[in-house]
Chain A
Amino acid sequence: MKFWQRFLNLDRKWIFLGIGLVVIIPLLFPLRLPVKPSKPVIDLFNRIDTLGVDNGVVWVVTDFDPGTMPELMPMTMSVLRHCLTKGTPVVLHGGLWPAYIGMAKMAMDNIAVEFPDKKIGEDYVFLGYIPGVTAVILAIGIDIETTFGTDYYGVPYDSLPMMEGVKNYEDISIIVDISGTRSPEYWLMYGQQRYGVDVGIGCTAVSAPSYYTFLQSGQFVGMMGGLKGAAEYEELMERYGYPTGRRPATVGMDAQSFGHLLIVVLVILGNIGYFIVRRGERKVGIERRKE
């Protein structure tokens, strides 16, 4: 009784500490709880995995900002690692909106450290931001060279050996749009439906449910939804012997699961305590404070 009463009046600082710990500890000492890859992720993985060298380039787009980085950056890194290890030429496109180029740059810097022997311009290419949003998607269908002109670093398009012969969507095997915005719909409407290019996506957990219809209709090749989706992709990478770094999404997933669990446990204990205390109060007839 007394314990519960004290528990009900628990200082919020303990809750804050709890949340902080359940997030930090799994990050420091990863448990890597088992994840079972789901069909949309397997589809996307297989699609990229079965690509040959001459199937065209993989076109990865970063349409997210620091707010959704924990979920979406691991996806970006996984896809880039996957392509580079396999030797599939990959293009990183710095997003349809100006604010997202910073994320692409961050991914590129990491890649440069992780794959010192891969050469920019030969094994992978970094294209910057071009204004126009949907107009950019349409323009890629006509001519990539005139659309972008140079890569992010200002190297003229025709001096990029990897892009030789890459003219439009016909030379792109798949668009992988990693997005915290509505951009997957744009790629679907203007890239996939108009030009028939394959589109696979990575999105936040919040927006994932709204894309399921497009998956079912086969309009998206595959999808990674939230940290869970990113963790599943990492799992597949590991199974097939690809490098995965520290598996940041899997680790993040642990933290997230524990965070959820803590909140649920707190709510349940709070309710148990509430009932026990209330019953006790009724017996002794203490007037309950208005809440």
Chain B
Amino acid sequence: MSISTSIWVWIAALLTLMIYSFLYKENPFYRLAEHIFMGLSIGYSVVILWYNYILPRIYEPLFFPPHQWSLIFPILIGMMTFGIFSEKYNWLIKYPLAVYVAGYAGVQIPLQLQTMILRQAEASFLTPDKFTSLFSSFNALLIFAGLVTTLIYFYFSAKREHGLGGASQVGIIFIMIAFGAAFGYTVMARISLLIGRMQFLLQDWLGIM
């Protein structure tokens, strides 16, 4: 294999090097790559906006039968966001904002309760099958202790006195172990990302691998 003759591989390779150059220090090359990236990603978003939103969700349902005239409402609400382009009408944006934020809040409340809170609480129940052996009982109790002390750590309205202070101390220990484990767990995947980039540089671009 030998060095690549494709202009696109060269561009990609040079951009890769430009990005990594900032690990040494800030320099014009990084800034160049950064601005190219920014421009491309915005152009990309505009195309995606057209392709994924305007065409299938506004243009087609509105102008082709069966015409979904009800879509006029969200379009009007959406257009109110343009109020910010004028000093006089910029309060208009509060309406779409209110609808948008409140709607998601309404979706979030039951969903979070159901899938995160009750679900996690249920999984934490100690069922008899968790006590099948001495080791599994120990594990179950350990998980239980971790959960309880962590929850106590997140008590905001109680003074950390008596048992609570001790419990939240234990809680932070469990939290730190969890963070350490999560950190260590991702290291491998992160390094393999770099391997991928290096393979691209050495193999696809330079052809020395």
Contact = CB atoms under 8 A, between A and B. Distances in A.
Chains A and B touch each other in the complex, with CB atoms below 8 Å apart: yes
A256 B191 contact: yes
A182 interface: no
Interface string A20-33: 00011001100000
B26 to A, nearest CB: 13
B76 interface: no
Nearest to A12: B23
B198 A24 contact: yes
A243 B208 CA distance: 20
B185 A206 contact: yes
Interface in B130-187: 185-187
Contacts of A206: 185-186, 188-189
A255 B191 contact: yes
Contact of A28 (B185, B187, B194, B208): B208
9 contacts: A13-B23, A27-B195, A205-B189, A227-B195, A248-B199, A255-B191, A255-B198, A259-B187, A260-B187
A23 B195 contact: yes
Query: What 6 A-B pairs come out closest when comparing CB atoms?
Result: A70-B196, A259-B191, A70-B195, A70-B192, A16-B23, A252-B195
A221 B196 CA distance: 28
Contacts, number: 60
What DSSP secondary structure best describes chain A's contact surface?
A: helix
A19 interface: yes
A13 B24 contact: yes
Contacts of B187: 259-260, 263
Contact of A27 (B188, B192, B209): B209
Given A13-B23, A24-B198, A260-B187, 16 more contacts: A13-B24, A16-B23, A19-B194, A23-B194, A27-B195, A27-B198, A28-B202, A28-B208, A70-B199, A71-B192, A205-B189, A206-B188, A227-B195, A255-B191, A255-B195, A260-B188
Nearest to B25: A13
Contacts of B24: 13
Contacts of A13: 23-24
Contacts of B189: 204-206
B198 A69 contact: no
The interface size bin for chain B is 10 to 19
Contacts of A24: 198, 202
A184 interface: no
Interface of B: 23-24, 185-189, 191-196, 198-199, 202, 208-209
A252 B198 CA distance: 10
Contacts of B194: 19, 23, 259
Contacts of B191: 19, 23, 255-256, 259-260
A218 interface: no
A256 B188 CA distance: 7
Contact of A23 (B23, B186, B188, B198): B198
Nearest to A246: B209
A248 B192 CA distance: 12
Given A28-B202, A205-B188, A260-B187, A70 B209 contact: no
A273 interface: no
A36 to B, nearest CB: 18
Given A28-B208, A246-B209, A260-B187, A70 B193 contact: yes
Contacts of A68: 192
Interface in A238-291: 246, 248, 252, 255-256, 259-260, 263
